Amino acid sequence: MKKIYFAPYQYTLVDEMGEIHKSLLIAMYINNMIVRITDYSRYVSKRKGSKYLYATDNDGIRRVCNFLNFVLTENRRVFKVTCIANIPFIAAEMYINNFSKTKRNGRYPSKQSVVKERDAVSHFMYNLGKQRYDREEHYYVKPLLIKGGDKELIIKGKTNIQWEYEIEAKYLSNDNRYNLIRDIPQKAIPLILKTIKREAPDLYLAVLLQLTAGLRAGEVVNIRRPDSKYPGGIKFRTVNGEFQNFEVDLTKNYLLRSDGNEVGYIKVKRMQSVYPIFLKEIQRAYEEHLEIINSIELEEDKPLFVTVYTNKKIGKRIGLTKKAYCKRIKQVMKKYVVPELLKSKESELITYGLLVNENSWGVHAFRHWFTVQLVLNDEDINSIASWRGDRSLQSSFTYLQNKGEIMKKYRKANENVAQWTISQILGEDFYESFKETR
């Protein structure tokens, strides 16, 4: 029996300048063979497309593929849809309801997963626009202006909005039990950084950039040295030998490995600066990181973060991938940080060690910690979105909605401010021993 289904199809183009252009499309398959590349991906994202086919995010494509499979293949006899423009509103409601009630690996999807699924489906229906027969009856999604006092909040020259969805989402999961561990107590930061500096000193700067500039893991591994064959890289300005600013060029995805593998993905193209209170720590970490990699033979692409071992085919270190970076940091957390936390005399650190040991943990927690510091420093919604490198204000709005709780939790439990917390480990230098062993 033939199995028909929809799935993402990725098309990648590397131009003559080495820049990577990625297009994600929706393909129709029959028994694992592509029979048609559709143009459905043009309706997936609320963002505008690019000159390189359709520039959409993989998660949105994947979620819409799941929705199309539910409507057009799994329940084709129920909905009898022959054209995506004729998918009834009730089909979208039924899909989200079914998604929220379906257990995966023995548990219901988290609230965040349900919300993202609902968002993707709602925007897909909305973006079909005038093709829909019931466009006057349902809006699916509509923008609502975010206001601050009597003034509209403006960032990057645009009025900022949040989205209201007509499709209601239901949440059945126990969020407290199953959510990814994101919060990091202030008192745990020195221990984490000290351990990473000792066990993985070549990644210390990478972690620090997540903590002080809010970079995503895929963005960290895309950073290039100033002498890379590709333009941009790192920019900084000094006065009397001290950093006055430090920013990384994330405006383009370049191919940083000779084997053709992509190191990671830049989610939002931009120039991203380190938050000013952390410049002193970044300067020392950056200078010491250069001491490490200057003794290493690199390809002319010269990524800032490279593999631990030399590539046997070319006799050089090559660009570190997002997967390898995340794996190494998780290993350090599980093998070294957690035992130290559990041996602590501080109840807060012991509790955090137990949480990390018994639940899912990822390096995205560093970006979350950075955002919390912005809230603690009384940044407004526009500033938080800008420092985080967000496309919209929705993520920042969520943090500010919980600002009172965040302020109470961190200021009551921690006596130290963020920049002091990080600077505590800078008196110890583990780089010399690292260089000697390499």
Per-residue DSSP letter, 316:
B
| Secondary structure of residue 189 in the 3-state scheme | helix
Supply the DSSP symbol for 160: -
**pLDDT confidence tier of residue 315, bands split at 50, 70 and 90:** confident
Q: What are phi and psi of 209, to 5 degrees?
A: -70, -30
What pLDDT is recorded for position 423? Answer: 67
Mean pLDDT of 141-162: 56
Position 134 scores a pLDDT of 81
pLDDT of residue 421: 65
pLDDT over 90 at 234, yes or no: yes
pLDDT at 146: 59
Task: Please state the separation of Cα 187 from the chain's center in Å.
Answer: 24
pLDDT tier, 319 (very low <50, low <70, confident <90, very high otherwise): very high
Query: Residue 30 phi/psi, 5° resolution?
Result: -130, 115
d(CA 109, CA 241): 51
Cα distance between residue 120 and residue 416, in whole Å: 40
Q: Which pLDDT value is given to residue 419?
A: 61
Does 277 score more than 80 pLDDT?
Answer: yes
Helix axes 394-401, 364-376, angle to 10 degrees: 60
Residue with the bigger pLDDT between 149 and 326: it is 326
> Residue 320: pLDDT band by 50, 70, 90 thresholds?
very high
Q: What is the pLDDT of residue 403?
A: 73
pLDDT tier at 73, thresholds 50, 70, 90: very high
**Which segments of the chain belong to CATH 1.10.443?**
188-437
| pLDDT tier at 114, thresholds 50, 70, 90 | very high
Does the pLDDT value for residue 33 go beyond 80?
Answer: yes
Distances (CA, A) of 431 to 146, 170, 202, 281, 286: 47, 50, 9, 15, 12
pLDDT of residue 287: 95
pLDDT at 387: 94
SS3 114: helix
Question: 188-437 adopts what CATH topology?
Answer: hpI Integrase; Chain A (1.10.443)
Which helix (H) or strand (E) segment holds residue 323: the answer is helix 322-332
Do the bridges between strand 20-30 and strand 33-37 make them parallel or antiparallel, or are there none, so unpaired? antiparallel
337-372, pLDDT tens digit by residue? 999 999 999 998 999 999 999 888 999 999 999 999
412-430 burial, b at 16+ Cβ within 10 Å, e below that, comes to eebeeebbebbeebeeeeb
Higher local confidence (pLDDT), 309 or 98:
98
Q: Summarize the confidence of residues 164-189 as an average pLDDT.
A: 78
Q: Which of 431, 322, 383, 413 is nearest to 153 (CA)?
A: 383
The pLDDT of residue 179 is above 70: no
Residue 435 pLDDT > 80: no
What's the pLDDT at 393? 73
